[in-house]
Structure 1
Amino acid sequence: MNEQALIEMEDLFENPTPRVPVALCLDCSGSMMGDPIRELNEGVKTFYQAINDDEIARFSAEICIVTFGPVSLEADFATLDTRPQPPILSASGNTPMGEAVELAINSLERRKAAYKASGVDYYQPWLVLMTDGQPNGNNLVLQQQVARVAHMAETKKLTVFPIGIGSGANMDVLAWFSPGRLPLRLQGLKFSEFFSWLSKSVSRVSQSTPGDKVTLDVDGIRGWAEL
C-alpha cells in the first residue's frame, strides 16, 4: 500500500463524516485535443476549488477521476482534504468507454467496501460520464457495463449524469447507461459552468442526511446544457 493509500485509509478512521463518492469518467481521447481538453481541465479545477471552499463538502466529497483514451485511473477516491489538487488531463487515443466505466465502478465498489469496514456511512454514489464521440473499445465490455450501471441506477445504488460534448457525442449510448435520466448535451465548451453546478449539487447532498432524497437544481442546468 502506497503512502497516499495509507493517508486515505487513515482518513476513514479519523474523519467519520458520511461520504459523497463522485466518480468522474471523462473522455480524453484524441478528438478532445486543443480547446476541449483545456476547458475540461479548467472545469475540473473549478469543481475542486468549489468543493475545497465548502467546509462540509471538503471533508465529505470523495472524488475519483477515470479517463479514457487510453483508460487511466487519474485519481482514486479521496476527500479534497487529503488530495486537494486535481490531476492535469491530456488528450490522446481512442474512446474505450466501456473499459473506463468498468474501472470507475470497480473503484467505487472497493471504496464502498472500505467505508463499510471502517463504519463510515455514505450517500448514494454519483457517476458523471462525459464523452464527445462514439465508443470504440470492446463491445462486450461496453454491453456488460451498460447493464451493470443501468441496474445500479434502477435500484437506487447509483446516480448517473450522462453528458455529451459537441455534435459528435453518441447520445443514444449515453442514454443506455441511465434509463431514468436523459443524457444532456453541453452548451459549447461550458465545462466550468457544468462543474460549478455539480459542486453546488454535491454541497447540497453533503448537508443532508444519508438516505434523504435531495432535489437537484433543475433550473441551474439551463446554464450549461442544451435543453
Structure 2
Amino acid sequence: MASTDLVLSHHELIENPTARVPICLVLDASPSMEETHYGDRQTPIEALNIGVQAFYEDISKDEMARYAADIAIVTFSDVSRIDTDFGSVERGAPMVSIHGGGGTSIGSGVELALDILERRKKQYKETGVDYYQPWLVLMTDGAPTDQTHHGAGRKVSDMVRQKKLIIFPIGVGSKADMQTLELFSPTRPPLRLQGLCFAEFFKWLSSSVAATSRSTPGEAVKLDVEGIKGWAEL
C-alpha cells in the first residue's frame, strides 16, 4: 500500500469514528476465471466484477452501512496482491482483473488478507475506533497449486473458533476444491455458488453488512439463512 493511501486510510478513521465492519474479499484471479462454461455468456471474472460493483453500490445506499463498511480486496493466482486496502465505499469499487500465471495460491492470498487485517485492527486501536468481528470472503474456482493453504487454513480456523473472524468460503463452478475450502471453515460447510450468481451473493452480503452495522459490536447477529438459497447450491 502506498504511503499516501496509508495516510488517507488513517484520516478516514479519524474523520469517521463509526464502529467498523472490516470485510476482506479474497478472490481467485487465475486464468480459469476467464473461461466460459455450459454456454454462459459471461465469464466468471466478468460476473464477479458486476457483483463487486453492486456490493459497493448497495452499501453506499444504506445510511448506516456506508459509514461502517471497511472493505479490502485481495486477489490470488500464482501470486497474491492487494487490489484495494481497507477503506470506505466512497473510494469506489475496483475492477478485479486476471493476473499472474496459471497457479492458484489460495493460502498465500488468505495470508496476505490476514496481514492487512491485523494492520487495520492496529489502526482501529490507534484511533480509538471500535470494530465488529472481521469478515473474510474466500472465493475460488479451482484447487490450490501449492501447500500454503494448510497453514493458512489452521490459522483461519483458530481465529474462527476464537470468534476473531467470520469466514464465508465459496466455491465457483464444478471444479472448485470444496475439501480445501473446508480447511478454512471449522463451524459451517463451504458453499458452492449457483452458476454465476455473484450479484445475488453480493446483494445478500451487503444486506448482512447493513444488519450488522445496526447492532452493537460484540453482539451476535443472525445471518439471513433463508436468503442463502438465492445464490448457493444447497
How many residues align? The count is 223
What secondary structure sits across from 1:195 in the alignment?
Answer: helix
Give RMSD over aligned pairs.
1.0
1:161 equivalenced with 2:168 (yes/no) = yes
TM-score by length of 2: 0.93
Deviations 1:127-147 (A, max 9, x none): 00000000113x1x2221111
1:106 equivalenced with 2:115 (yes/no) = yes
Distance 1:145 1:26 in 2: 15
Distance 1:143 1:215 in 2: 29
What secondary structure sits across from 1:182 in the alignment?
Answer: coil
| Other-structure match for 2:38 | none
Report the Cα offset of residue 7 of structure 1: 1.5
Distance 1:61 1:49 in 2: 12
Q: Structure 2 matches for 1:1-227, cutoff 5 A? A: 2-34=3-35, 35-69=43-77, 70-81=79-90, 83=91, 85-92=92-99, 93=101, 94-137=103-146, 139=147, 141-227=148-234
Distance 2:177 2:65 in 1: 32
CA contact (8 A) 2:150 2:183 kept: no
> Can you give the 5+ residue segments of structure 1 that lack an aligned partner in the other structure?
none
Distance 1:117 1:5 in 2: 13
Paired letter, 2:85: D
CA contact (8 A) 1:50 1:196 kept: yes
Distance 1:11 1:170 in 2: 38
Deviations 1:139-165 (A, max 9, x none): 1x2221111100000100000000000
CA contact (8 A) 1:19 1:123 kept: yes
Paired letter, 1:27: D
Distance 1:215 1:104 in 2: 25
CA contact (8 A) 1:160 1:181 kept: no
Report the Cα offset of residue 167 of structure 1: 0.6
What secondary structure sits across from 2:188 in the alignment?
Answer: coil
Report the Cα offset of residue 2 of structure 1: 2.8
Distance 2:210 2:83 in 1: 23
- What fraction of aligned residue pairs are identical, expressed as a percent? 53
> Can you give the 5+ residue segments of structure 2 that lack an aligned partner in the other structure?
36-42
Distance 1:177 1:202 in 2: 21
TM-score by length of 1: 0.96
Runs ≥4 in structure 1, deviation > 6 angstroms? none
